[in-house]
Amino acid sequence: MPTTEAKIAVVGAGLAGLTLASELAQETSALVIDRLPMYGGVLGYEHPLVRTLARRCEAVRVEFHLATTATRWEGHRVLLVGPTGIRWTPATRLLIATGTRPSTQAEMGISGERLAGVLPAPVAIHLAEAEVTLGHRVTVVGWGNWANRTLEAIRHHGAHTACIPLSDAPGVADGFDESWPGWYPVRVEGRSRVERLILAKDGAEHVIECDAVILAAKPRPLRNVDGAIWPDSPSATFIQPVAESLTAEEVVEAAKKAAAELGSRAAMGSR
């Protein structure tokens, strides 16, 4: 599997990763790594844009390592763990294109214990799609893609839904039974599972009774390759557009721009 030639390793086979690989592999060799057994990331492999990008990758001989996790980066080699084994794989540059995750309870500044029923949106969506009833009164913190996908996944579960959009733009919490624009969550309370979410606004508090709190706000770049966590990591570049709500086209555009920058930097370096 490992070769010694100059190679760019892209972590993440979603829109950003596929775009980067298809652009860069025209000049240099590239490999794409994804945790899931299929490319496409959150959009899935059947999305037309994903299929187009994947065909482009194949045309420029991008090497795919799927169902594979990149765990450590040492500036010149990446540790890949996947179906064919565990291998240090040489690479000249690591591109992190693993998308985003919602902020955690601590990152949101929500105090209180770690209670059952408080779940990150990606977990909540998976469970709800497996027909797990997350709660009878579900409060979603956030208004972007995760909030909408959570609502979609629990729509037929019959729960009362509340949204803390953290935004007062009109229409952001459409579809929820209630919405609390302008309020922000400060504390969870409960015994064996969450029973209340406390909101604050201008010194006032409001209590929402609920048995599930879904964290779907303040996206942060998802980074879990040791050695490629902070912006100053050697030979690592992060292509992770962050916004509450992003279209597929916006992600592709950002990745193309990053690829162009990397390409010209590489060209300058080789001169």
Partner 1 sequence: MDRADVLVVGGGVMGAAVAARLSQTTARVLLVEEQDDLAEGASKANAGIATSFYGRPGTLEARLIAESNPRWEDLCGRLDVPYRRIGAVMLAVGPREAAGLPAVYEAIVAHGARAELVTAEQARDLEPLITGDCAGGISLPDEGIIDPMRLTVAYAELAARNGATIERSRRVTGFSVADGEVNEAETTGGPVRVTFVVNAAGLFADEVSRMAGGESFRMWPRQGQYWILDRAFGSRLRRLVYPIPMEHTRGAQVVPTTNGSVLLGPSAADTELRLDKATDLATLRWLLEQTRKLVPDVSDAYAIKTYAGNRPAGDEIFRARFDHNIRNLIHVGSRSAGVSVSPALGDHVLGLLRDAGLAAIDRAEAGDAIPTVPRLLNAADPEELPSLDPRYRHVVCACEQVTAVEISAALESRVPATSIDGVRKRTRATGGRCQGSVCMVGVAFLVSQHTGQPPECIRHGGFGGTLGVGHADY
For residue 258, CA distances in Å to 11, 19, 143 come to: 14, 10, 27
Which residue type, as a one-letter code, is found at position 212? A
**Using alpha carbons only, what angle is made at residue 111 by residues 107 and 114, rounded to the nearest 5 degrees?**
90
- Interacting residues with partner 1 between 36 and 95 (CB under 8 A): 69, 71-72, 79, 81-88
The number of residues that bind partner 1 (CB under 8 A) is: 60
Q: Which residue has the tokens 């298809």?
A: 22
Identified binder of partner 1 from the candidate list 212, 251, 254, 255, rule CB under 8 A = 212
For residue 139, CA distances in Å to 84, 176, 205 come to: 42, 9, 16
Identified binder of partner 1 from the candidate list 28, 167, 224, 245, rule CB under 8 A = 224
Please check whether residue 89 is in contact with residue 77, taking contact to mean a CB–CB distance below 8 angstroms.
Answer: yes
Told to check if 235 binds partner 1 by CB under 8 A, we report no
Told to check if 268 binds partner 1 by CB under 8 A, we report no
Residues 15 and 76: their CA atoms lie apart, in Å, by: 25
To the nearest whole angstrom, how small is the minimum distance from the Cβ of residue 95 to partner 1?
A: 17
Structural element, H or E, at residue 138: strand 137-141
To the nearest whole angstrom, how small is the minimum distance from the Cβ of residue 8 to partner 1?
A: 20
Told to check if 157 binds partner 1 by CB under 8 A, we report yes
Please check whether residue 31 is in contact with residue 65, taking contact to mean a CB–CB distance below 8 angstroms.
Answer: yes
Identified binder of partner 1 from the candidate list 6, 59, 132, 169, rule CB under 8 A = 132
- Interacting residues with partner 1 between 110 and 129 (CB under 8 A): 111-123, 126-127
To the nearest whole angstrom, how small is the minimum distance from the Cβ of residue 110 to partner 1?
A: 9
Structural element, H or E, at residue 101: strand 100-101
Name the residues that contact partner 1, by CB under 8 A.
35, 69, 71-72, 79, 81-88, 101-102, 104-107, 109, 111-123, 126-127, 130-136, 156-157, 187, 189-194, 211-212, 222-226, 229-230
